[in-house]
Amino acid sequence: MSGNAQPMLMHQIISGRQSHYCYALIEPFDIARFDEQWSVLSTAPGAQWRSLPIASLASAPGLQPLLLRLSDGSPCETLMLWLLQQPGADQRCILFTTWFDWQQVIAFWLQRTEALYPQGIVAPFNSFSAPILSLLWQTLGDEQQQSFVAGLEGLYLPEGAAWRLLAIGNQVAEPAFEQIQLSEQQYELLTRESRRELQSQQLFLRLQPYHRREFSPADVRAVYFDTLQRVQQQFADADARSCEIMAQRRFVWGKDYFIHPVFLALCTDGDYRKALRRFQQKVCNDAALGRDMDFHDWLPPLEQ
């Protein structure tokens, strides 16, 4: 079953567990000062940890996730308390309680680090990443969720300095875990955020040569994501890709083109991509409509 209890502090989970062990699984790369902390705490007496030997990361051991066994006052608990204070690092870790020993817990997660993608390719899948796991969980049915956590007492995601119970498992693991198979809808949901970040970077690179005023990728990102939100509110029935295309055209036709009466009239059949193509033709052929477009309103245009 999925959990809906109030967030708990880490020491409450450690001391309140019924199972043998409490583990943390963390992605250590790109966390400021992590290596410094790790070099001290990983070799301290009582530190219990293992690397998760993901085959695709074999040539880059520094990128392999780390499994920490936590107990009250242990060096690994100290490391986790430090980690939760670092900006953004709370999204690089999950917590779980289980009866599994080291060999079992490593096998458990290795089964969940690959997926069959919609393209028919089996490839790495970071199911242990807190943001990805949170999104994936929304798409799984009850049986799939129970299969995922079979053998765990509890699975927790970070919430600020505390932990939110995502799911309650059971003591007996299933004899075999079926490989994760991502549908088109799941793949779209899981890749949406990273795809949009990439889109904002590409927009910046395309726009930069046309403007002498200095502006940053953060400026473009803010404009893009704000427009994307407005587009999604305006066209609630539009799919994610159509919303992205409409938001990107804001950099061509201006911040309010998508609420212009001419554009709205083209959207009545719900085919937004066709509406964009037809609007492009109208803007090119209708001088009066073209004058309604604030092409460079978001940034000063080049001096002629």
Long-range CB contacts for residues 197-204, cutoff 8 Å, separation at least 24: 197/221, 199/224, 199/244, 199/248, 200/224, 200/225, 203/248, 203/251
| pLDDT at 252 (0 to 100) | 85
Per mean pLDDT, which range of 27-36, 41-50, 209-218 is the poorest?
Answer: 209-218
Cα separation values, 284 from 253, 278, 287, Å: 11, 10, 7
Long-range CB contacts for residues 141-144, cutoff 8 Å, separation at least 24: 142/1
Radius of gyration of the chain (CA): 24
DSSP 257: G
Contacts of 253 (CB under 8 A, 6+ apart): 279, 283, 293, 294, 295
Residue ranges per structural domain of the chain: 10-182, 186-292
pLDDT at 93 exceeding the cut of 90: yes
Sequence-ordered strand ranges (E) for the chain:
21-26, 49-51, 66-70, 93-98, 114-116, 122-124, 152-159, 162-168, 180-181
Taking the C-alpha atoms of 217, 274, 192 and 220 in order, what is their torsion angle to the nearest 10 degrees?
Answer: 10
pLDDT at 304 exceeding the cut of 70: no
pLDDT at 300 exceeding the cut of 70: no
b/e per residue 140-178 (b: at least 16 CB within 10 A): beeeebbbbbbbbbbbbbbeeebbbbbbbbeeebeeeee
66 near 26, Cβ under 8 Å?
A: yes
| pLDDT at 302 (0 to 100) | 36
Length of the chain: 304
Q: In terms of DSSP bridges, do strands 114-116 and 180-181 run parallel, antiparallel, or are they unpaired? A: parallel
Long-range CB contacts for residues 261-268, cutoff 8 Å, separation at least 24: 262/289, 267/235
- Rounded Cα–Cα distance for residues 276 and 75 (Å): 58
pLDDT tens across 227-259, in order?
999 999 999 999 999 999 999 999 888 888 999
Q: How many helices (H) and strands (E) does the chain have?
A: 13, 9
pLDDT tens across 174-227, in order?
556 888 999 999 998 998 888 999 999 988 888 887 776 677 888 889 999 999
Average pLDDT of the residues in 40-57 = 89
> pTM for this structure?
0.76
Backbone CA torsion sign across 246, 250, 252, 257: positive
Contacts of 97 (CB under 8 A, 6+ apart): 13, 17, 18, 19, 21, 22, 23, 152, 153, 154
pLDDT at 294 exceeding the cut of 80: no
pLDDT cut 70: percent of the chain above it: 92
Phi-psi region of 58 (alpha: psi -120 to 50; beta: other; left: phi over 0): alpha
